[in-house]
Structure 1
Amino acid sequence: MTSRPLLEIAAGSLASALAAQEGGADRVELCSSLAEGGITPSRGMLAVVRERVRIPVYVLVRPRGGDFLYEEADFDIMRRDIEACVALGYDGVVIGALDADGNVDPRCGELVKAAGKLGVTFHRAIDASSDMGQALEKVLALGCERVLTSGGCASALAGAHVIAGLVKQAGDRIKVMAGAGIRSGNLVEVMRLTRAHECHGSARTVIKSSMRYLNPALNDLAPDIEQSSVEEVRAMKAALISLCAH
């Protein structure tokens, strides 16, 4: 590769965003509830992260987990969340929506318009579309600057051949960012197979709870915390840098 692909870290907390920054990530995708694919973070998190994180941050705009078929009220929520990101001075937003037949919802254009001068990424809703090649063209027409994809598979490695096809189709018209299941151990393989412009991962690790008392009856409330690891972010960044040497 002639230039190093960028590394984006999906951060589900302030601590994860700061770990991404310390580890050398190029950009953060800020969200909440990573376990359900991510939803829009709270206004409080938005305010504090904007104050403390210096590298570019894009905010995930997704009103709920589940599918990407949204009612008009959901679009109203997303428009207002985007307005909040604009007001706080964020670098970009991450959007995506489909209609019932798996096509890119044209109302996404309203979200791009609301973002104004902010950058816009189309998220993995494209992986749930009925025709990814056609969806990529729709995303291009919306004016998005990149699309995040696993190639329609559970992981970017499994969907590497599809991602490679999207990269070829995209050319220099839009950036294709590979994501889902990427860690430092498989990052080089994924990027060599896909030739993707950017790479996305959470770099998560489990941090044991510091609570001295734990109620043994609360089996449904796991006390341990998942957050991005500075060491794993550094390892992912080093793997990307190594691509340029070959």
Structure 2
Amino acid sequence: MFPIRIEVVAETPMDVRAAQTSGATQVLIVRQLPEGSSSSDTKTIEACLEQATIPVSVLVKPDAGDYCYEEARRTRTLKILEVYWKRGIRNITFGAEHDGVFDWDLLEEAIHCGFTVNVNQAFDLLRNPQAAYMKLVQYPKVLQINTSGAPWATADGDYTLEQLLRSASPQLPIFLDTAGHSEDRVLGLLKTGLHGVQLGKTIRDGQGKINYGLLDRWVGLCQSLNKRPRSF
């Protein structure tokens, strides 16, 4: 049995405190979550880290745009890596792709810098998610993959998260962003092999603020399954 992990997306130190109080197991620090998320400023990150008693990852994304990094955005991304490393940040959430292929060179740049990496939803844009997953498993410094759970359109037809979970390993956990998914679907996936959830927009109100009732509800649902045996 592997306990379900619960990652809360935080934008402020107050969000970090709320995540910890709720029972979340880890935090992802971003800014501009409603617009698509981007890297936070170092002052905010340091304030969040001062509050954190659970593992923290920091998003590396130059703006709230997509995950295809042409030269200018690539340069900005590398600069963010440099700044974060100098500020003592060691775990990042990051991902990039081009024409449905994962940007392995940029991933290796991040690993070469010394970071451990949680792969973000750039993974959702890949043409062959299973092949990419099996390759990512070979990187000891890649710690988890985040996905929106939408089917991948492949040459052989749609490839689903359920199919990916059949070949998933606890060595590289798969997290589902719960936004847009019903509780029943999330619970079903958790019972059959999903390793964790990411709570971002799901637990926020129309103004982008955390709704503490929703946060506690989702954390409670996930924690209730930790008392039951699950198959992987």
TM over 0.5: yes
- The aligned amino acid for 2:179 is G
- The aligned amino acid for 2:103 is D
Deviations 1:78-105 (A, max 9, x none): 2232233333333510010111x21001
Instruction: Report the CA distance between 1:190 and its aligned residue.
Output: 3.6
After the TM superposition, list the runs of 4 or more consecutive aligned residues in structure 1 that deviate by more than 6 angstroms: none
Residue aligning to 2:156: none
Residue aligning to 2:43: 44
Instruction: Report the CA distance between 1:153 and its aligned residue.
Output: 4.4
* 1:179 aligned onto 2:161: no
Deviations 1:188-219 (A, max 9, x none): 234125x111111125333xxxxxxxxxxxxx
Q: In 2, distance between residues paired with 1:164 and 1:106? A: 25
* 1:226 aligned onto 2:225: no
Q: In 2, distance between residues paired with 1:168 and 1:3? A: 15
Name the CA shift for 1:238/1:183 in 2 (closer, same or farther; >3 Å).
farther
TM-score (norm: length of structure 2)? 0.82
Query: 2:170–2:195: 8 Å Cα contact kept in structure 1?
Result: no
Q: 2:129 aligns with which of 127, 132, 155?
A: 132
Residue aligning to 2:101: 103
Unpaired runs of 5+ residues, structure 1, are: 155-160, 207-223
Residue aligning to 1:168: 166
Deviates more, 1:184-193 or 1:119-128: 184-193
Q: In 1, distance between residues paired with 2:86 and 2:209? A: 27
- The aligned amino acid for 2:54 is I
Query: 1:179–1:201: 8 Å Cα contact kept in structure 2?
Result: yes
Deviates more, 1:24-33 or 1:164-173: 164-173
Q: 1:151 aligns with which of 146, 149, 153?
A: 149
Residue aligning to 2:12: 13
In the alignment of these two chains, the number of paired residues is 218
Q: In 2, distance between residues paired with 1:97 and 1:36? A: 18
Unpaired runs of 5+ residues, structure 2, are: 153-158
- The aligned amino acid for 1:236 is W
Name the CA shift for 1:14/1:73 in 2 (closer, same or farther; >3 Å).
same
Q: In 1, distance between residues paired with 2:7 and 2:125? A: 21
Q: In 2, distance between residues paired with 1:72 and 1:11? A: 29
The CA RMSD measured in Å over matched residues stands at 2.5
**Structure number with larger C-alpha Rg:** 1
SS in 2 for 1:145: strand
- The aligned amino acid for 2:40 is P
Q: In 2, distance between residues paired with 1:241 and 1:183? A: 18
Query: 2:6–2:25: 8 Å Cα contact kept in structure 1?
Result: yes
Query: 2:2–2:195: 8 Å Cα contact kept in structure 1?
Result: no
SS in 1 for 2:101: coil
Query: 1:23–1:231: 8 Å Cα contact kept in structure 2?
Result: no
* 1:34 aligned onto 2:33: yes
Query: 1:20–1:228: 8 Å Cα contact kept in structure 2?
Result: no
Residue aligning to 2:155: none
SS in 2 for 1:109: helix
TM-score (norm: length of structure 1)? 0.78
Q: In 2, distance between residues paired with 1:36 and 1:49? A: 21
Name the CA shift for 1:6/1:112 in 2 (closer, same or farther; >3 Å).
same
Name the CA shift for 1:110/1:30 in 2 (closer, same or farther; >3 Å).
same
Deviates more, 1:232-241 or 1:135-144: 135-144
Query: 2:20–2:54: 8 Å Cα contact kept in structure 1?
Result: yes
